[in-house]
Homo-oligomer: A and B are copies of this chain.
Amino acid sequence: MIIAIIGLGLIGGSLGISLKNKMGINHVLGIDSQSDNAVKALKLGLTDEIVTLPEAVKRADLFIVSTPMDSMVKIIPELLSSISDNQIVMDVGSTKMQLSEAVRLHPRRNRYVAAHPMAGTEFSGPEAAIPNLFEGKYTVLCDVELSAPDALETVRLLFSVLNMKVLELDSKSHDVHTAYVSHISHISSFALALTVLAKEKDENRIFELAGSGFSSTVRLAKSSPDTWIPIFKQNRDNVLDVLDEHINQLSQFRSLLIKNDFDTFHTLIEEANAIKRIIS
């Protein structure tokens, strides 16, 4: 099987190196609109060969689209129009509703499998790609009833080779859930970084004191706007809902501090501690 990866950043590059390691694939073809990214990816061994998209269309069995979300909604319908009925297109996008709309009426919709491997780091670009990024984590497959059985089977095989667990959701639920378990964490980190950076202007030395707790809560603030703005744009309504809830929770803490109501605050922290049962 020949796999073409379109977009050789953190996720695309990590898929390339992982699949090369795990499947012993002879040819992972790489495509990137930025030629310097392509050169780096080839040097780093994330792909065996750099090709043009038309060349990939001639040779690849499976296409993995791993560009930012705004490009993805353009590339995937175009790609579906170029391929044959034996080829498969898969994406790894963080939002799914707009993508699903973009391909809904496409005559070759059933050659497309909507996937979202829930893995990432705060870094981006081919230099950030690492093997084993996906090991043991979850992939969401969306709207599986709209994909052809053979296409679905190939994609499942790919994730099983990567040792990922698979969860099925419809696109709408996927976008609600990721707003809670991923997108709001990024919003919160970006805001926290801006909060402390605003202070730093006056107080240069304070960050010598920043401990591991601080680093942990703001590390996602290193994430690329080119990745995240298209995600926030495409999942705007869900992100707004969760953000409203988060601002409400913070405002509640604020009000308890103002009223010196530390008993209620204590109870709320005990409730927050229940997060222990969710994250280890």
Cα A251 to Cα B246 with chains together (Å): 10
Q: Across the interface, which residues of B come within 8 angstroms of A105, CB to CB?
A: none
Partner of A137, one of B121, B203, B211, B266: B211
* Contact A217 B185, CB 8 Å, known A247-B250, A265-B232, A269-B190: yes
Chain B nearest CB from A3 CB (Å) reads 24
Interface string of A252-272 (1 = CB under 8 A from B): 011001101010011011111
Q: Across the interface, which residues of B come within 8 angstroms of A232, CB to CB?
A: 257, 262, 265
Interface string of A212-255 (1 = CB under 8 A from B): 11111111111111001100110010011011111101110110
Evaluate contact between A215 and B120: CB separation under 8 angstroms. Answer: no
* Contact A268 B194, CB 8 Å, known A181-B206, A254-B244, A257-B240: yes
Main secondary structure of the interface of A (DSSP, over half): helix
Chain B nearest CB from A159 CB (Å) reads 14
Does any Cβ of B come within 8 Å of A10's Cβ? no
Evaluate contact between B181 and A279: CB separation under 8 angstroms. Answer: no
Chain B nearest CB from A128 CB (Å) reads 13
* Contact A209 B177, CB 8 Å, known A193-B272, A194-B272: yes
Evaluate contact between B217 and A216: CB separation under 8 angstroms. Answer: yes
Evaluate contact between A214 and B229: CB separation under 8 angstroms. Answer: no
Cα A228 to Cα B188 with chains together (Å): 20
Evaluate contact between B119 and A222: CB separation under 8 angstroms. Answer: no
Evaluate contact between A239 and B214: CB separation under 8 angstroms. Answer: no
Evaluate contact between A215 and B245: CB separation under 8 angstroms. Answer: no
Does any Cβ of B come within 8 Å of A60's Cβ? no
Give me the 4 closest cross-chain CB pairs, A-B, nearest first: A225-B269, A191-B249, A193-B272, A193-B275
Beyond A191-B249, A224-B273, A243-B250, 12 additional pairs, beta carbon < 8 A:
A137-B211, A180-B206, A185-B216, A188-B217, A189-B272, A191-B250, A193-B272, A193-B274, A194-B271, A214-B279, A223-B273, A250-B250
Q: Which residues of A contact B (CB under 8 A)?
A: 118-122, 137-138, 140, 165, 167, 176-178, 180-182, 184-200, 203, 205-225, 228-229, 232-233, 236, 239-240, 242-247, 249-251, 253-254, 257-258, 260, 262, 265-266, 268-276, 278-280
